[in-house]
Structure 1
Amino acid sequence: MQTALITGSAGLIGSEAVRFFAGLGFRVLGIDNDLRSYFFGPTASTAWNRDLLAEQFGERYVHHHVDIRDQRAIENIFRDHGGDIHLVVHTAAQPSHDWAAKEPHVDFTVNANGTLILLEATRQFAPEAVFIFTSTNKVYGDTPNFLPLVEEQTRWEIDAEHPYYRGIDEAMSIDQSKHSLFGASKVAADILVQEYGRYFAMKTASFRGGCLTGPSHSGAQLHGFLAYLMKCTVTGTPYTIFGYKGKQVRDNIHSHDLVNAFWHFYRSPRVGEVYNIGGSRHSNCSMIEAIAVSEELSGRKLEYRYSEENRSGDHIWYISDVAKFQGHYPEWHYKYDLRGILEELYTAQAARV
């Protein structure tokens, strides 16, 4: 039986990966200590999802309540199972650039040091395993904000003749820009993943995600754009739009589509790869466009206020160019578009209230 080790296993991408790979017959070792509840409060806890996984998969899912910064504990897990581990999917992170500024040491040790601990444990105990890392588009800092953007009625946009109209590719510089401290810690992790691939010839990949979303997301104000927006719409919780007239654009990829991309990479891995991955032109929206669809689906008006002050270093417009990944793995296709994502989010949220 193949074994996958998945960090952040009760979170959005981690739990999707557990379900995906356990569904294929893998034994899954999950690592998650619900640090998300520390970052964003008890309403963002992932404990409910952890319990669902244990109930659904029984002995095929082995949960470890371990912090990825605990080198000894991580090494012990790898030591016990290393020879059997075929795949490492690393999704655990501090994911908010606003939160990172409050506790920079925690942010950096979770995102950078935790990644180093996992990479080195993989190298020592499971060197043939495929190592997949969920990076972020924030590695590009605020460089996308200097593109020649045009204000339209409901969104910021870029001219159809511009080379980046189809989306931002991996050639964009990650240097000399404002990343946020979160972005900087993820850059460190991203480069480490590349370096372990190139230096030690390990099968590693950094997937630089756009907005990752899905019904398993414990959305919070500081992280989880679409999930939190739908939660506020359904529950009547006031929502705040930060800057850019609410016309800032994000591409959105369903957690299933992302994990399916991981699966394609696992079946035919490469060394030290980097991929931009997101909804691309297939699935993207501005905040006010997302609000309109959420209100339509829920039949409720969202109560929101507008803050003139945008989040520092926040993207005005970001759409991923996924052509590189699709070129390497042409059998990978999207299952969800934006409306399909929001319909699932509405169904999941309505069931919780």
Structure 2
Amino acid sequence: MPEQLALVTGSCGLVGSEAALFFARNGFRIVGIDNNQRAVFFGPEGDTSRTLETLRSQIKGYRHENLDIRDREAVLALVKELKPSLIIHTAAQPSHDRAAAIPFIDFEVNALGTLHLLEAARRHCPESPFIHMSTNKVYGDRPNSIPMKELSTRYDYDDRSFEGGIAEDFPVDQSKHSLFGASKLASDVMVQEYGRYFNLPTCCLRGGCLTGPNHSAVELHGFLNYLVKCNLEGREYTVFGYKGKQVRDNLHSRDVAGFMLEFSRAPRIGEVYNLGGGKDNSCSILEAFQLVEEVTGRKMKWRYVEEARSGDHICYYSDLTKMKTHYPQWRVSTDLDQICREIAERYVAAVH
């Protein structure tokens, strides 16, 4: 069997680096695309240079392309040269807060960059699975229209039809997405369309809070990692609205890569999956404070701002039924406590 080659965009980001390492361990040759745009978006704290060093040291024969996916000709030429057997597209402008300040760059990276890769795949490797990291922000703030109940430490759905979370048929229209959510929705629909129109094996993974120790977390992106970082450094964490009871589901990037492998082995046409930790791996900010304090033994310093972030979800966790039905081999293997421990241990090791 010829050697398989995976092209990973955003290879120095959280999910991209995890996917690169994971697929390398599973026998793939890896070519990564990343131009450290995260440092441009978020400043020095977002710099991913150290992750690139890790990829080069841990992946035999790793090839890195310092390429901007907005550069159409460069993308087309690289895919034509490589004809990869798998494309994992994680490169993005990832912050819905940041997008409002850089709308052109946000749309060019998230929507246009995805189109460049899709067209390159259609021309040069149409049988290769194309896995796109989308986001739950494609649903905008529509999940906030579900009846909610307020509990002591969190909000939750007060509608039994959402007991297991948000499924993939949840509406995306008539809601506020943030400009980031809108640009990602454009790319999400395009990935589906290339699948359905051209019969390509594509899927959109609508991620919730994807996390893990490799995240270069900042306040505007990387909820759980940034929270742990603040706790260990004694920094004050700011809670924006909803009494700190807003709920997110969390999924380790290792489990994200595991699902990607399952899809690559049995790809489908133009599919969509809500990729998260599900209800069992969900927590509110208040619950996250308690969890992190138990892991580190340090009290959380935080302040409350009454104004919620525009378009923010009051409660969101993914219904994993479709994922588990299509790919029964896959499961969430890392619980919240273990995720927090790994993040804390990596941070302490990096500092010392």
Structures share a fold, TM > 0.5?
Answer: yes
Supply the distance in 2 between the matched residues of 1:71 and 1:226 (Cα, whole angstroms). 34
Match of 1:68 in 2: 69
What is the aligned partner in structure 1 of residue 27 from structure 2?
Answer: 25
Q: Any idea what SS the aligned residue of 1:157 has?
A: strand
The whole-number CA distance in structure 2 between the counterparts of 1:126 and 1:264 is 19
- For residues 337 and 266 of structure 2, the distance between their equivalents in structure 1, rounded to whole angstroms, comes to 31
Q: Give the SS at the match of 1:25.
A: coil
CA shift for structure 1 position 340:
1.2
Q: After superposition, where does 1:107-186 map in structure 2 within 5 Å?
A: 107-159=106-158, 162-186=160-184
Q: How far, CA to CA, are the matches of 1:340 and 1:304 in structure 2? A: 23
CA–CA distance in 1 between the matches of 2:245 and 2:347? Answer: 25
Q: Distance in 1 between matches of 2:258 and 2:334?
A: 12
CA-to-partner distance for each residue in 1:170-219, whole Å, 9 max, x for gaps?
11100110000000000000000000000000000001111100010010
Aligned to 2:190: 192
Aligned to 1:54: 56
Cα distance in structure 2, aligned partners of 1:81 and 1:148 = 49
Divergent runs of 4+, >4 A: none
Shift of 1:236: 1.3
Q: 2:318 aligns with which of 295, 317, 320?
A: 320
Q: Distance in 2 between matches of 1:116 and 1:201?
A: 16
Structure 2 matches for 1:32-111, cutoff 5 A? 32-59=34-61, 61-82=62-83, 85-111=84-110
Shift of 1:127: 1.0
In the alignment, the residues of structure 2 paired with residue 106 and residue 309 of structure 1 have an alpha-carbon distance, to the nearest angstrom, of 27
- 2:341 alignment partner AA: E
Q: In structure 2, list runs of 5 or more residues that go unmatched.
A: none
Kindly report which structure 2 residues correspond to 1:258-273, keeping only aligned pairs within 5 A, or say none: 258-273=256-271
CA drift at 1:63: 0.5
Secondary structure in 2 matching 1:320: coil
Residues of 1 paired with 2:121 and 2:280: CA distance? 35
Q: What displacement does 1:335 show? A: 1.0
**Amino acid of the residue matched to residue 2 of structure 1?**
Q
The separation in 2 between residues aligned to 1:282 and 1:201, in whole angstroms, is: 35
* Count of aligned positions: 349
Name the aligned partner's letter for residue 180 of structure 2.
Answer: F
CA offsets 1:277-333 (integer angstroms, 9 cap, x no match): 101022110001001111111111122111111100000000100100110111111
Counterpart Cα distance in 2 of 1:341 and 1:289:
14
2:40 and 2:240 map into 1 onto residues whose CA distance is: 23
Separation (CA, whole Å) in 1 of partners of 2:241 and 2:42: 21
Corresponding position of 1:286: 284
For the residue of structure 1 that corresponds to 2:300, the secondary structure is: coil
Shift of 1:58: 3.4
User: CA–CA distance in 1 between the matches of 2:40 and 2:237?
Assistant: 21
**Following the alignment from structure 1 to structure 2, what is the Cα–Cα distance between the partners of residues 172 and 113?**
25
SS in 1 for 2:85: strand
Give the 3-state SS of the residue equivalent to 1:133 in structure 2.
strand
For 1:232 and 1:348, how far apart are their aligned partners in 2? Answer: 14
Question: Which AA in structure 2 matches 1:43?
Answer: E
Q: In the alignment, which residue of structure 2 is the partner of 1:6?
A: 8
| Shift in Å, 1:74 | 1.1
Aligned equivalents of 1:23, 1:133: Cα separation in 2 = 21
Gapped runs of 5+ residues in structure 1?
A: none
Partner of 1:344: 342
**Deviations 1:57-99, CA, capped at 9 Å, x for gaps:** 131x1100111111111112112111xx110000000011100
1:250-294 per-residue CA deviation (whole Å, 9 max, x = no partner) reads 000000111101111110000000111101022110001001111
SS at match of 2:143: helix
User: What's the TM-score once normalised by structure 2's chain length?
Assistant: 0.98
Q: Any idea what SS the aligned residue of 1:58 has? A: coil
Letter in 1 for 2:130: F
Q: Say which SS state the counterpart of residue 223 (structure 1) adopts.
A: coil
Q: Measure the CA separation in 1 of the matches of 2:311 and 2:160.
A: 23
Report the residue type matching 2:131 in the other structure.
Answer: I
TM-superposed CA distance for 1:131, in Å, is 0.1
Distance 2:297 2:276 in 1: 28
